[in-house]
Amino acid sequence: MTNVISSTIGYPRIGEKREWKRALESFWKGKIDKEELLAEMKKYRLHALRKQKELGVDLIPVGDFSFYDHMLDTAVMFGFIPERFRGGSDLLGTYFDIARGNDEAVASEMTKWFNTNYHYIVPEIEADAVPELTENRALYYFNEAKSELGITGKPVLLGPVTFLHLAKGFEEKDIDQLLEKLVPLYIQVLRELEDAGAEWVQLEEPMLTGAISETDLARFKRVYGKLQQEVPGVKVLLQTYFEAVDHYEEVVSLPVSGVGLDFVHDDGANLAAVKEYGFPEDKTLAAGVINGRNIWREDLGEKLTQLERLLEVVDKDRLIIQQSCSLLHVPVTVDTEDELDPLLKNALAFADQKLEEAAILTKGINQGESSIKDKIIAQKQSREALWNSAARNRQDVRNEMESWEGVTPRRPTSYASRQQLQQQFFKLPLLPATTIGSLPQTADIKQGRQNRRRGKWSDSEYQAFIEENIAEWISRQEEIGLDVLIHGEFERNDMVEFFGEKLEGFAFTRFAWVQSYGSRCVKPPIIFGDVALTEPMTVKEIAYAQSLTEKPVKGMLTGPITILNWSFVHEGISSFEVTKQIALALQKEIKYLEDEGIQMIQVDEPALREGLPLKPEKQEQYLREAVYSFKLATSSVKDETQIHTHMCYSEFGEIMDTIDQLDADVISIEAARSHGEIISDFERNSYEKGIGLGVYDIHSPRVPAVEEMERNIVRALKVLEPRQFWVNPDCGLKTRGIEETTAALTNMVEAARRIREKVPQNSTIS
C-alpha cells in the first residue's frame, strides 16, 4: 500500500548559531577569500540537508539556500542585473554589489516579503530586457546533494509570474512580453534538472494567495501550460503560502503535477474549498498543516484529524505532509536553548521540531493514530501546562484592559494647534536635521554588553560605560550640527528584544535567530503571557542624554504593532488583545519620559505595513486595530509633547490614510533606497503633518555626497512644504561604522543647510 510522505518547503539558511552570517561578514571585511566563503557555505548547506534526512523528511528541498536573498538569486540567475552594476567579471561580487551597493552605485531597493519581516532585494527589469541563464543554481544544488549525500532532492525555484510581479522597472503591459522571454529559460532549467534525475521541482507562486486578476490567472495558465508541454517528464509542484487561494478551482486545475496549499493561515478557506470542490485525481496535494511562521508545538491530534479530512478527498499516494511555508521564518532548533524554563521550552517547536512533527503525523497517517498516541498526549500536556499558567491569567492586566472597553483614544487638541505650541517650545530651524534612533554598535559596545551579561562588570560599571558612550555621541552630534539629538541606544541589543526583556510576559532565547535581510538576523522575543510594565524601561539613559545638551533629545520607543509583529506571539487570545496590552505598557513608559522632561518621543512602527493581511477584505480591520493600538500608547501626552514615528520598506501609498490617522506629529519614512519613488505617493495624497523622507540609505556601506542628498531633499520639496519637512537618514545607524556615520551625517547636515538657505525664511515647520 502506498504511503503518505513528508516534505519541507524550505529550511533556514543561517545555521544553529548564525555561522552563515559570520562567514558572509568575514568575507565582506576581507578576512576570508572567495574560496573560503564558498567552502564554508557548502558545509552549512550539506549540514542542513543531512539534518533534514536524519529527522525523517522524505522529500528534501535543494536550492532554498541563498548567499543573501532568493529574489536576488533569481534575478542574477536570469541575468537581470541593473546597468550600474554590469561589466564586472566576478558574478558573486556583482551579486553582493546589487544587494549592498558600492562606492559608485547605490544598492537596489529592499522591501518586505509579503506580510513577513523578511526583506528581499527588488529586481530592476526594463521592458526591453533580454534575460539569459547565467547559472542553473537549482541544478548545481541538486547535483551537490545527490553526489555528496545521496539525496535526490526537490529543487526549489521562485515561479516566473510571482518573480515579475515583485520586480520593478516596467509597466503592467510589459509583463506578457517579459514572460515570453523568461519562460524559455525556465524550460531550460527544468530540462537540465530532468536530465540530472530530478523527479519533483517546486515552483513557488505566493502571489496566488493575494488579490489576483483574471489577467493574472490567464498568465498562470499560459505559463504553466507551456512548461508542462515542453518538460512533461518533471513533476512541477506549484507552491502557495501565507493565505488561502481565492481562485481555488482555477489554481488546482493548472497544468502541474502538484499544488501546495497553506492550511494554517487560510482561516479554513483552503480546507473548505477542498471539501466543496474536491481535488484533481491526477495531482498531488502538498498539505501545509504545520505552522511555518510561529514557534508553538502543534496539537497533533487536531492536525491528524485535519489530514484525515483531506484523505476523504485525496488518496494517500497523492498527499504530502509539510509546513505551511518555508521555515526561513522561524529559528533553527529548540535543542540549544538550555536556559529556558522547561514549562515554556516544552511548548516550543522551531524548524527542526517542525520537521519532527511532520514525520510524526506522516507515521500517524501511515500506521494509524495508535502509533503516535504517546506523542499526541505529550504535546497536548505541554501546550495546556503553559496555557493554564499564572503568567497567562493575570487579573491586573485583565482589569486594565476592561477599563478601556468602549473608549476611543485620541489626542484632545488638533494637529494644527499642537504644531504651533510645539514650534514655540522647541524653536527648531526650517528643515531640522535628526536621525532615526540608533548609532553605531561597535565591537566595544557589544563587548560591554557581554561583560555585563557574563558578570564581568557590575551594573554600575556597565551603566558608566553606557553613559560614557552617550556623552561621546551627544558631543559628536552637536559638532556635526544636528538639530534634534538621540541618545544612541547603546544599551539596546535589538529594538524589540530590549523592550521585551523589561516587560512581563516575554521570554528570551540564546540562539533563536531568524534572517531579516542579508546577513542581518533578529532574535524575536516570545510573548508567552500577559504583558505588563512594572518599572521604567528607557528613562535613565534618555534623561541622562538630555542633561548633557540644550538641544532636544528624542525618547526612543518601539511601537505596539511592531513589538507584536516582530515577536512570536502566543495563540491563547487574539493578536489585537496582545497589542493593546503592549500599548498600555508603552503608555506608562511615555508618561515616565514626560515626567523627566522628555517632550519629543519617537514611537517606531516599521512593521505596521508588514502585518497587513494579503486579502483586501481583511485589511481594514487590521489597520483600524493598528491605529487604535498606536493611539492607545501615544494619545495621553501633553500638547507640547511631539510624537514621532518611523516606518520603512513598505508600499505607503496603500495606507496613507492610516498613516494620517495615527495622528503622529512627525513621521519619518524610508525613501532613499527606493530612489524617491515614495514621493509620488505624496503627489497623489495630501499630507499636512511633519514628515522626514530618508535622504540616504543606511543599509549600504557608502557615504553619499552632499549633492546627492541635496537632490533627494529638492525632489521631496516638490511635493511637500518646507515647513513640514525633516531631514534624516532612512533608518537607524547601528550597523554602520563610526567614521562613515560621522561623514554621512555631516554631509546630510550640510545638504540641509544649503537647501535651508534657498527657501523662504518666513516658513514655519511642524
Same domain? 356 vs 439? no
In contact, 156 and 10? CB cutoff 8 Å? yes
Same domain? 336 vs 442? no
- Confirm or deny that 521 is annotated as ligand binding: yes
Task: Provide the pLDDT confidence category of residue 735 given band limits of 50, 70 and 90.
Answer: confident
146-173 average pLDDT score: 97
Same domain? 427 vs 343? no
Same domain? 562 vs 701? yes
Active site residues: 699
Q: What is the pLDDT of residues 603-623, one digit of tens each?
A: 999 888 888 899 988 999 999
- Structure confidence at residue 476 (pLDDT): 97
Q: Dihedral, CA atoms, 674, 612, 394, 592, nearest 10 degrees?
A: 40
- Structure confidence at residue 207 (pLDDT): 96
Helix (H, G, I), strand (E, B) or coil at 492: coil
- Confirm or deny that 489 is annotated as ligand binding: yes
Angle, alpha carbons 697-702-705 (nearest 5°):
85
State the Cα–Cα distance between residues 310 and 296, nearest whole angstrom. Answer: 23
φ, ψ dihedrals at 515, nearest 5°: -70, 135
| Strand-strand pairing, 503-507 and 526-533 | antiparallel
| Strand-strand pairing, 526-533 and 600-604 | unpaired
Same domain? 132 vs 211? yes
3-state SS of 75-92 is: HHHCCCCCHHHCCCCCHH
Report if residue 613 sits inside a domain.
Answer: yes
- Residues in CB range of 712: below 8 A, 6 or more apart: 671, 672, 676, 693, 695, 696
State the Cα–Cα distance between residues 390 and 352, nearest whole angstrom. Answer: 29
Report if residue 147 sits inside a domain.
Answer: yes
Residues in the chain: 766
134-158 average pLDDT score: 97
Residue 765 has pLDDT above 70, yes or no: no
Q: Which CATH number covers residue 71?
A: 3.20.20.210
- Residues in CB range of 176: below 8 A, 6 or more apart: 219
- Confirm or deny that 302 is annotated as ligand binding: no
| Mean per-residue pLDDT over the chain, rounded | 93
Nearest to 580 by CA among 561, 606, 565: 561
- Confirm or deny that 731 is annotated as ligand binding: yes
Report if residue 405 sits inside a domain.
Answer: no
State the Cα–Cα distance between residues 315 and 236, nearest whole angstrom. Answer: 19
Q: What is the pLDDT of residues 388-398, one digit of tens each?
A: 999 999 999 99
Same domain? 247 vs 114? yes
Q: What is the pLDDT of residues 112-125, one digit of tens each?
A: 899 998 999 999 99
Q: What is the pLDDT of residues 489-498, one digit of tens each?
A: 999 988 898 9
10-20 average pLDDT score: 96
Q: Which of 387, 408, 426 is the last residue of a domain?
A: 387
| Residues β-bridged to residue 237 | 202, 258
Give the range of the structural domain holding residue 324, as residue numbers without chain letter: 5-387
Helices (H), 651-705: 656-661, 679-684
- Confirm or deny that 25 is annotated as ligand binding: no
Same domain? 136 vs 198? yes
In this structure, what C-alpha cell is assigned to residue 317? 499516494
Report if residue 531 sits inside a domain.
Answer: no
Q: What is the pLDDT of residues 668-701, one digit of tens each?
A: 987 765 555 667 777 677 788 999 988 888 877 7
- Confirm or deny that 520 is annotated as ligand binding: yes
Same domain? 383 vs 448? no
State the Cα–Cα distance between residues 227 and 164, nearest whole angstrom. Answer: 17
Q: Which of 372, 387, 402 is the last residue of a domain?
A: 387
DSSP 318: G
Same domain? 427 vs 322? no
State the Cα–Cα distance between residues 76 and 86, nearest whole angstrom. Answer: 11
Residue 224 has pLDDT above 90, yes or no: yes
Same domain? 189 vs 297? yes
- Structure confidence at residue 428 (pLDDT): 96
The number of domains in the chain is 2
78-87 average pLDDT score: 94
- Confirm or deny that 112 is annotated as ligand binding: yes
φ, ψ dihedrals at 557, nearest 5°: -130, 155
312-320 average pLDDT score: 96
- Confirm or deny that 646 is annotated as ligand binding: yes
Q: What is the pLDDT of residues 654-677, one digit of tens each?
A: 788 898 999 999 999 877 655 556
Q: What is the pLDDT of residues 255-269, one digit of tens each?
A: 999 999 999 999 999
Same domain? 326 vs 421? no
**299 versus 2: which is more confidently predicted?**
299
Report if residue 522 sits inside a domain.
Answer: no
Helices (H), 635-705: 656-661, 679-684
Q: What is the pLDDT of residues 321-378, one digit of tens each?
A: 999 999 999 999 999 999 999 999 999 999 999 999 999 999 999 999 999 999 999 9
589-602 average pLDDT score: 97
Report if residue 104 sits inside a domain.
Answer: yes
- Confirm or deny that 610 is annotated as ligand binding: yes
State the Cα–Cα distance between residues 759 and 747, nearest whole angstrom. Answer: 19
Q: Provide the percentage of residues in the chain whose pLDDT is more than 70.
A: 97
In contact, 570 and 529? CB cutoff 8 Å? yes
- Confirm or deny that 21 is annotated as ligand binding: yes
Q: What is the pLDDT of residues 537-557, one digit of tens each?
A: 999 999 999 999 999 999 999
Same domain? 696 vs 554? yes
What is the maximum span of the chain, computed from C-alpha positions, in angstroms?
Answer: 84
Find how far residue 160's CA is from the centre of its chain. Answer: 22
pTM score = 0.89
Report if residue 515 sits inside a domain.
Answer: no
Q: What is the pLDDT of residues 437-490, one digit of tens each?
A: 899 998 999 999 889 988 999 999 999 999 999 999 999 999 999 999 999 999
Report if residue 509 sits inside a domain.
Answer: no
Rg (CA), the chain: 26
- How would DSSP label each residue in 426-471? H-PPSS-B---SB----HHHHHHHHHHHTTSS-HHHHHHHHHHHHH
- Structure confidence at residue 764 (pLDDT): 47
148-164 average pLDDT score: 98
